């Protein structure tokens, strides 16, 4: 008799690059467990599934409550390029929600994100800067935390030297910081960097001018 030949191919509706997602509120706890596993492929699939979920702000609270953000924070320095890329992407999606931005600050993610801003991968740097920028939209806490953690000097250095796509985001972050603490930017010698960028592409020149204007409202900034 003829028997059907078994196949190892997955059904067409199953994505092999993502982990299977549990139903309802169990989805994110399961993903968080997979993020902590030692198997690289399992981590990568879990990260892909996570990014699909937290792209919807409705899932951000459950993600934070499940400890996913702490796992992402620990993966920001992972040796695998895909792991770092998807971890920063997860942070960007998390920072799209006010609760997520608050969690990024409270769960000490700002410094690891700042370190990711120096990654060799441009997409990783853009994601990391995006998460930082959104997190500083809480002026009194996010921007203040950047000052407290001495990240402003690093931010100014990236504005001076990085790719134009990164500079645009970093200039927005610096503007959020300036609304809280001009002194930190002055100490980081931000004005000479901003003046040079006035001759750059229109979007960068416009944001540089805005930041210089913000500095000039401060009495000490006027003297510079």
User: What digits encode the pLDDT tens for the residues 38-58?
Assistant: 888 889 889 988 998 898 888
Q: Does the pLDDT value for residue 139 go beyond 60?
A: no
* 158 pLDDT higher than 50: yes
Task: Report pLDDT for 4.
Answer: 45
**In the prediction, which pLDDT does 89 show?**
94
pLDDT digits (tens, 9 = 90+) for 80-112: 999 999 999 999 999 988 899 999 999 999 999
Q: Which long-range contacts (CB under 8 A, 24 or more apart) does 211-214 make?
A: 211/171, 211/174, 211/175, 211/178, 211/185, 214/175, 214/178, 214/179, 214/182
On the question of pLDDT at 24 being above 60, the answer is: no
Whether the CB-CB separation of 128 and 90 falls below 8 Å is answered with no
List, for residues 193-222, the tens digit of each pLDDT value. 999 999 999 999 999 999 999 998 876 665
* Location of structure tokens 């210089």: 212
2 vs 177, higher pLDDT: 177
Identify the CA nearest to 193 among candidates 203, 185, 202, 201. 185
**Which residues 6+ apart lie within 8 Å of 70 measured at CB?**
107
Instruction: Check residue 23 and give its pLDDT.
Output: 40
**Average pLDDT of the chain to the nearest whole number:** 86
Q: Taking residues 116-127, what's their average pLDDT?
A: 94
pLDDT of residue 220: 65
Question: 26 falls in which pLDDT band (50, 70, 90)?
Answer: confident
Q: How distant, in Å, are the alpha carbons of 4, 54, 134, 139, 190 from that of 130?
A: 52, 15, 6, 16, 20
pLDDT at 57: 85
**Per-residue pLDDT at 22:** 46
Residue 5 — very low, low, confident or very high, per pLDDT cuts 50/70/90?
very low
- Cα separation, 90 vs 51, in Å, equals 5
For residue 20, what pLDDT is reported?
Answer: 52
- Report the Cα 55 to chain-centroid distance in Å: 13
Residue 38 DSSP symbol:
S
Q: Please tell me the distance from the alpha carbon of residue 85 to that of residue 131, in angstroms, as a whole number.
A: 13
pLDDT value at position 2? 45
Task: Tell me the C-alpha distance between 186 and 203, whole Å.
Answer: 22
Residue 3 has pLDDT above 90, yes or no: no
């Amino acid at each position: 008799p003829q028997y059907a030949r078994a196949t190892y191919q997955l059904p067409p509706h199953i994505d092999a690059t993502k982990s299977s997602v549990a139903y309802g509120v169990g989805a994110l706890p399961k993903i968080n467990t997979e993020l902590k596993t030692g198997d690289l492929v399992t981590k990568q699939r879990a990260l892909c599934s996570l990014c699909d979920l937290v792209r919807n702000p409705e899932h951000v609270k459950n993600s934070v409550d499940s400890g996913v953000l702490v796992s992402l924070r620990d993966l920001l320095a992972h040796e695998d390029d895909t792991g770092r890329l998807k971890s920063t992407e997860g942070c960007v999606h998390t920072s799209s929600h006010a609760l997520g931005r608050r969690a990024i600050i409270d769960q000490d993610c700002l410094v690891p994100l700042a370190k990711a801003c120096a990654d060799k991968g441009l997409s990783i740097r853009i994601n990391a800067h995006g998460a930082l920028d959104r997190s500083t939209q809480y002026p009194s806490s996010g921007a203040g935390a950047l000052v407290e953690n001495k990240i402003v000097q690093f931010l100014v250095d990236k504005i001076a030297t990085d790719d134009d796509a990164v500079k645009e985001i970093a200039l927005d972050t610096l503007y959020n910081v300036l609304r809280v603490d001009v002194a930190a930017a002055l100490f980081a010698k931000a004005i000479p960097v901003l003046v040079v960028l006035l001759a750059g592409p229109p979007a960068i020149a416009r944001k540089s001018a805005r930041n210089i204007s913000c500095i000039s409202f401060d009495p000490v900034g006027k003297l510079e």
